[in-house]
Amino acid sequence: MANISKSTSSTRNACKLCAPLGASLVFKGIEGCVPLIHGSQGCSTYIRRYMISHYKEPVDIASTNFSEEAAVFGGGQNFVTGINNIIKQYNPAVIGVASTCLSETIGEDVDALIRDYTGQNGNTPLFFNVSTPSYCGTHMNGFHQAAIAAVARFAKSGKTGSQINIFPGFVSPADIRYLKELCIDFHIPATVFPDYSETLDNVHTREYQLVPSGGTTISELEMTGSAKATIEFGTVFNRGGKSTIGNSIVSAGQWLQEKMFVTNHQLGFPIGIDVSDKFFNLLSGIAQSPMPDKHQKERGRLIDAYVDAHKYVFGKRAVIYGEEDFVIALAAFLLEIGMVPVLVASGAASGLMKSTLETIAGPDICIADGSDFASMREIMQELKPDIMIGNSKGYYIAREMKIPLVRAGFPIHDRFGASRIHHIGYRGTQELFDRIVNALIEYKQENSPVGYKYI
């Protein structure tokens, strides 16, 4: 296994985002929830900018607006003022509070601030909070910390019901809608959490919605504690970050299994036929029925596409980058279709990406965890890849090296329709496969001295 070391100790254009951003995404997946960032105004502005640019939806992220005085004497008064303003302007059902590097560094006790506020005020919204200093992880650590915190706050134990939980991790709104469609087709009642399939990809409304419709309801979150099973996508989760709800708890599914005895089934992201088969077989077992015919046909068409396009993709060298669980799934998918992932990079540094990829890809693949884009650029000069797959932040490298970039994951700032990109299951794999094949065909066509109309 190749171990890539950086040429400098500094981070240059990090291949990761901040922990409160990931937490805010979970907050947006809860019905009636308004996110509150306990820290400086710049933190919430940064999060809004990234989410609005990617999802093309208005995203309100409140801030307690730390100043120099709050950094020295504490942000208690800022917290009260911020909560009062949120209630006055939005009247939310839930407020999700995420800390920042600044509020964590001064040791702000957010639990105490919430207790004091709710104790002194009647009929307040429901609160839950999560510790998300970015120096203890990436946006994915913040995402999973918030998911754990929400389940720990709202889940209730009880008689085992007929419903299941699906915790898909950081996927697109289109992927979430696809998962809900699958559950309907299998006749399985399910709670999908977080569900930002509407809040971050909503229908057009005549008037602006202060709190967008959609999201996992509080009653659904309460029922997660009595579900008959949980299906959870990922292998890394919150490992490598700082967990504030039991150091050994790395995911919401694990919390439910350990605290409320809900069986947790963990799978890698179902990208590619192999992992998608495992996911669909699990659904069939839970439903005690075969895979619906329309999904059987989607699988068959995907296999046919693999055969048809093999000549375009076989042996092509790819660089993939993004969140650890996402790029692990992408690497397995590329190997499945005959491509060679020559560099797999992530800004996270749990150490698990290397060990996981070693079992599926062998020793020749370059692994760069804890990486940044400047280091990736240096490595790629020697690897000479044919294609890049990842978010928009790698575009300048693809442009310089004159290779195609297939945009996937988050953030996608320079293309339209990021909310509607499918990644998972047979359907998502088919769309991703088509985009990769067409990117390679287009590159070959555009760089040919002859204007071939057939490639």
How sure is the predictor about 45, in pLDDT bands with cuts at 50, 70 and 90?
A: very high
Report the alpha-carbon distance of residue 20 to residue 146 in Å, rounded.
9
pLDDT tens by residue, 337-349? 999 999 999 999 8
1 band by pLDDT with thresholds 50, 70 and 90: very low
Predicted pLDDT at 10: 73
**Overall average pLDDT of the 286-311 stretch:** 98
Residues 241-268 have pLDDT tens digits of: 554 454 689 999 999 999 999 999 999 9
| Alpha carbon 303 to its chain's center | 27
> 354 or 58, which is more confident?
58
Give the phi and the psi of residue 133 in degrees, each rounded to 5: -70, 135
> Virtual CA dihedral for 340, 343, 349, 355, nearest 10 degrees?
40
pLDDT at residue 360 above 90? no
CA distances from 25 to 6, 343, 389, 407, 416 (A): 31, 28, 23, 20, 19
Name the maximum alpha-carbon separation found in the chain.
Answer: 76
Is residue 361 predicted with pLDDT exceeding 90? no
Please tell me the predicted confidence (pLDDT) of residue 51: 97
Distance (Å, rounded) from C-alpha 166 to C-alpha 190? 7
* Statement: 19-267 belongs to CATH 3.40.50.1980: yes
Instruction: Give the per-residue pLDDT at 72.
Output: 80
CA dist., res. 187 & res. 287, Å (int): 7
Count the neighbouring beta carbons within 10 Å of the beta carbon of residue 90: 17
Of residues 247 and 217, the one with the higher pLDDT is 217
Across the chain, mean pLDDT equals 93
Q: Residue ranges of the domains in the chain?
A: 19-267, 307-446
- The two domains 19-267 and 307-446 share their CATH topology (first three levels equal): yes
Give the per-residue pLDDT at 455: 79
pLDDT above 80 (res 60): yes
Quote the DSSP letter at residue 218.
H
Q: What is the pLDDT of residue 79?
A: 95
Q: What is the CATH number of domain 307-446?
A: 3.40.50.1980
pLDDT, average across residues 117-124: 91
Query: What mean pLDDT comes out for the span 419-448?
Result: 97
Backbone phi, psi, residue 320, to 5°: -125, 145
| Model pLDDT for residues 267-278, shown as the tens digit of each residue | 999 999 999 999
For residue 12, is pLDDT > 90?
no
Read off the pLDDT of residues 184-213 as tens digits, 9 standing for 90 and up.
Answer: 999 999 999 999 999 999 999 989 999 999
Q: Is the pLDDT of residue 8 over 60?
A: no
Q: Is the pTM of this model over 0.85?
A: yes
